[in-house]
Amino acid sequence: MEDKSRTSNGHYGIGLMFALNVAKLHQGDLAIRNAETGGGQVHMTIPLNKA
């Protein structure tokens, strides 16, 4: 993390990368966007298999 603001308060910005790796491992995806009310919104999609 080259951006020093990303490491403030003990956070290193790896949470979203970890979540993306988990989603991809399960053939899913991660979508990140600005929420209408401010802040961010993260949506993870993981397909379910029918047995």
**Residue-wise over 3-38: b if at least 16 C-beta within 10 A, else e?**
eeeeeeeeeeeeeeeeebeebeeeeeebeeeeeeee
Which residues make Cβ contacts (< 8 Å) with residue 33, sequence separation at least 6? 40, 41, 43
Total number of domains constituting the chain: 1
Has residue 33 been placed in a domain? yes
Instruction: Give the structural domain span for 26.
Output: 4-45
Residues in the chain: 51
Has residue 12 been placed in a domain? yes
Whole-prediction pTM value? 0.63
Has residue 50 been placed in a domain? no
Which residues make Cβ contacts (< 8 Å) with residue 9, sequence separation at least 6? none
pLDDT tens digit string along 1-49?
455 655 566 666 688 899 999 999 999 999 999 988 888 888 999 998 8
Q: In this predicted structure, what is the pLDDT of residue 24?
A: 94
Has residue 51 been placed in a domain? no
